[in-house]
Structure 1
Amino acid sequence: MRILSVIIGTPDENSSMWMRIKRQAEILSSLGHEVELCFYSFYSRHELSFEPPFKYSVMRVSPITVHLKHLINISRDSYDLLFCNLAPSAFISSLSRIRGIPIVLDNHGDLISERELYEPGILSKIYYSIVSSLSFRAADRIICVSSSMMEDLRERGIPGRKLYYVTNATDLDLFSPLDEEETDRVKSDLGLENRLTFGYIGADSKWQGVDNLIETGRRIDDDDLQFLYVGFSRNTVRSHNELYLPRVPFDEVKYYYGACDVLVLPRPPHKSAEVAAPTKFAEYAAMGRPILTTDVGDAADLVRKYECGIVVDDNRPENLLRGIETFKSLPEDELVRMGENARRMAEEEFSMEKMKQDLKNVIESLGV
């Protein structure tokens, strides 16, 4: 089968968005399909900063021309399936229905609630509601990354036959527990030795809730506790009990995970967070580290199920502080047990083999 993967924008090589697109394209290729990528760019930067390991094209478009250019694009070549990254990609692909090409929408986020955080206002909400509605209508299959998302879409009237769960997998070989010697070396290099370190590695998007974690850490006056933040500071900054580091290459992220004794997912109780499946959660688990999470979405349910961390009610500083203090009171063998359970969760829930089988189910269900 010839598949065109449709992407809005030109993601960075180390972004979670690109990692997901690349991972899915690799899986589809391994299933015997021919995969081509098409990036539609609305911005002045319309060249990729890296070379994808697939056949690809980048097209400069405007909101007015993108639909026509896409229709011309799919008319020029013969594709059997359009694989769309997020609702806007499915929206611009809706005209492909004219040619009878099936559409799979990879809906790994909620467009309406995410945009409300950045573009509040009734007109913006109406616009993105229309885009989402038309995307769901146009899609033959909708990939959901959480049970929370599947439930939400059913409540919004999306037929259950369209909805398929596909795990947000991670590379369990790349992300795996560091040995004791490696851990000690990384902690020493970062100046974190002999301190219980809570870490957050990733973007500081509004739906991540990291601001409240930072506020919580600044309320704590305890020399035995340390907070490590990686990924959203331009420079290395050390102050009080905090260490901020800039983004690091993807294949080095595991060392910073490994430097932490507890990894934190401080997401707020917001729709955008409730239906999502953060890539970092799967990576946290794969590293075999205990997890402190708020009671939001599937992550909280999984932490409870596998007994691999602590769930607090929400990300208000007083609740995060309560979770941090509970971790400090735990004996070392309990932290080790939680870490082992986290790794077991990753192997059972977030393996690439499971994602491959999930995607295979989606494709086969189309009967093309």
Structure 2
Amino acid sequence: MRILLINQHFAVPRLATGTFPFVLASGLARRGHQVTVLTTDQAAGRGGSYVTNEEGVEVHWARIAYSNKMPYWRRIVAFFAFAAWCIRHIRRLPPFDLVYAASSPLTVALPGVYASRRWRCPMVFEVCDLWPEVPIALGALRSPLSIAAARWLERFAYRNAAFVIARSPMMADGVVATGYPRERVRVVPNACDFKRFDVPGEWGRSLRQENQWLANRPLVLYAGAFGLVNGCSYIVRLAAEVQKSLPEARFLLLGRGREESLIRELAEQLGVLNRTLYIHPPVPKDEVPRFFSAADMTMSTVIDVPALHKNCANKFFDSLAAGRPIAINHEGWLADLIREHDCGLVLPAKKICKAAQMMVTALKDPTWLREAGRRAYQLGRKQFDAQKCVDEVEATLYAAIGDHELKRHKAAA
């Protein structure tokens, strides 16, 4: 099968962002499919494009700058710039059997539908975030006109999709709420890349030895972006409260983003920066397992907006793959999983003192940490193994092509 994958935020392991789309693309390529990706080199932004081969996947990179440090209007410009580049680029490509368009942003539907109609092939649409629900909830879309346009684009994407793949059960419910048939929605969450996180314990021990501030102290790791939605200030306030009763505990924020300066300022004000809380620049994805190996617990946070409870954060699944308990500060399907499998903590979003008590209790209990980490690993193996996720996506792609061929035969009859 010749598959065109359109994903503005596609990343490979040498980069510092989530790589589930790469796991999916390379997994399909290893099964004999010819996979071509259209994406962006977000650090370049000088115009033009280039092509690389990434483990059997042909990746076409457009040099279009993007960062969560950008104001919303500049991000929207980048979204439409990528959509326009894709449409121009598709005109130069040979026909494909199927188009796989992955949002966010919703604007990937524009080249996705264009390619689908041009080649008369089905499009499968992947929903990584519920757009425009999340931008509206965050205030990124405010005017009635922009909201109406975003709602139209959402319906346009679903209406032209043979199937929709949602990254969480709650996202699937959101898709169905628009009127899209439930029987054509598949739930395929982010996957656990066990191969990448199967590293020697020495990796973590050496990291501890290299950093005197850490040594043998308890470590809570956050590895991800410092964007507005991520709510990393919660971790700073938590670290300040934990410091009062467990001063030897350490918090490490691994990443960067729009809120970094605000996070540093708050950490300085609360007296934890470079004392109990440390900030480290992002590292390539293939170096991240070393930090997970050193951690006793990981964290994934969002700001207190209900629309974000539907998230499917990469860092949650990385923690499962690494066999580390994870703490989150929101409700939703991930919170349900943590409670059901006792593989982490669901911290209250508005009660930092209570959250600190829960964290201190956990960090003081090495038996619980070890057993919760084991249960996290088992949960990942049972429900979120990368190859199982590739199986489910591949089956959906075959179903889309089968339905498309059946419709063509009926139309010709």
TM-score (norm 2): 0.78
Partner in structure 1 of residue 23 of structure 2: 23
Indicate the SS of the match to 1:115. Answer: helix
Which of 295, 300, 303 matches 2:338? 303
* Partner amino acid, structure 2, of 1:166: V
Cα drift, residue 105 of structure 1: 1.0
* Partner amino acid, structure 2, of 1:230: L
Which of 384, 389, 408 matches 1:355? 389
Which of 41, 52, 55 matches 2:58? 55
Which of 102, 110, 121 matches 2:122? 102
Partner in structure 1 of residue 6 of structure 2: 6
Which of 263, 268, 292 matches 1:257? 292
**Identical residues among aligned pairs (%):** 20
Q: 1:186 to 1:148 in 2, by over 3 A?
A: same
* Partner amino acid, structure 2, of 1:336: R
Partner in structure 1 of residue 112 of structure 2: 93
Which of 221, 225, 240 matches 1:203? 225
Partner in structure 2 of residue 229 of structure 1: 253
Deviations 1:53-87 (A, max 9, x none): 23343458984995697278258521111111213
Q: 1:271 to 1:74 in 2, by over 3 A?
A: farther
For residues 216 and 302 of structure 1, the distance between their equivalents in structure 2, rounded to whole angstroms, comes to 23
Q: Give the 5 Å matches for 1:273-352.
A: 273-314=308-349, 316-329=351-364, 331-352=365-386
Partner in structure 1 of residue 283 of structure 2: 248
Partner in structure 2 of residue 365 of structure 1: 399
Cα drift, residue 11 of structure 1: 5.7
> Quick check: 2:99–2:116 contact (8 Å CA) kept in 1?
no
Partner in structure 2 of residue 78 of structure 1: 95
For residues 27 and 392 of structure 2, the distance between their equivalents in structure 1, rounded to whole angstroms, comes to 10
Indicate the SS of the match to 1:35. Answer: strand
Indicate the SS of the match to 2:189. Answer: coil
Cα drift, residue 337 of structure 1: 0.8
> Quick check: 1:40–1:66 contact (8 Å CA) kept in 2?
no
For residues 131 and 173 of structure 1, the distance between their equivalents in structure 2, rounded to whole angstroms, comes to 38
TM-score (norm 1): 0.87
For residues 391 and 127 of structure 2, the distance between their equivalents in structure 1, rounded to whole angstroms, comes to 18
Deviations 1:274-309 (A, max 9, x none): 222111111111111121122433221211222111
Cα drift, residue 203 of structure 1: 0.8
**Structure 2 gaps, min length 5:** 65-76, 265-272, 406-413
Cα drift, residue 178 of structure 1: 4.7
* Partner amino acid, structure 2, of 1:333: T
Q: 1:260 to 1:97 in 2, by over 3 A?
A: closer
> Quick check: 2:86–2:111 contact (8 Å CA) kept in 1?
no
The worse-fitting range, judged by mean Cα deviation, of 38-47 and 116-125 is: 38-47
For residues 65 and 252 of structure 1, the distance between their equivalents in structure 2, rounded to whole angstroms, comes to 29
Q: Give the 5 Å matches for 1:30-49.
A: 30-39=30-39, 44-46=45-47
Indicate the SS of the match to 1:341. Answer: helix
* Partner amino acid, structure 2, of 1:110: L
Q: 1:184 to 1:68 in 2, by over 3 A?
A: closer
> Quick check: 1:291–1:310 contact (8 Å CA) kept in 2?
yes
For residues 288 and 360 of structure 1, the distance between their equivalents in structure 2, rounded to whole angstroms, comes to 27
* Partner amino acid, structure 1, of 2:380: A
Deviations 1:229-249 (A, max 9, x none): 1112899x9522111111112
* Partner amino acid, structure 1, of 2:2: R
For residues 273 and 73 of structure 1, the distance between their equivalents in structure 2, rounded to whole angstroms, comes to 33
Q: 1:272 to 1:208 in 2, by over 3 A?
A: farther
**Structure 1 gaps, min length 5:** none
**Superposed CA RMSD:** 3.1
For residues 245 and 40 of structure 1, the distance between their equivalents in structure 2, rounded to whole angstroms, comes to 25
Q: How many residues align?
A: 364
For residues 175 and 159 of structure 2, the distance between their equivalents in structure 1, rounded to whole angstroms, comes to 12
For residues 297 and 242 of structure 1, the distance between their equivalents in structure 2, rounded to whole angstroms, comes to 28
Q: 1:239 to 1:9 in 2, by over 3 A?
A: closer
> Quick check: 1:311–1:323 contact (8 Å CA) kept in 2?
no
Q: 1:312 to 1:57 in 2, by over 3 A?
A: closer
> Quick check: 1:166–1:358 contact (8 Å CA) kept in 2?
yes
Indicate the SS of the match to 2:196. Answer: coil
Deviations 1:196-216 (A, max 9, x none): 221111111222221211122
> Quick check: 1:277–1:298 contact (8 Å CA) kept in 2?
no
For residues 366 and 281 of structure 2, the distance between their equivalents in structure 1, rounded to whole angstroms, comes to 30
> Quick check: 2:208–2:215 contact (8 Å CA) kept in 1?
yes
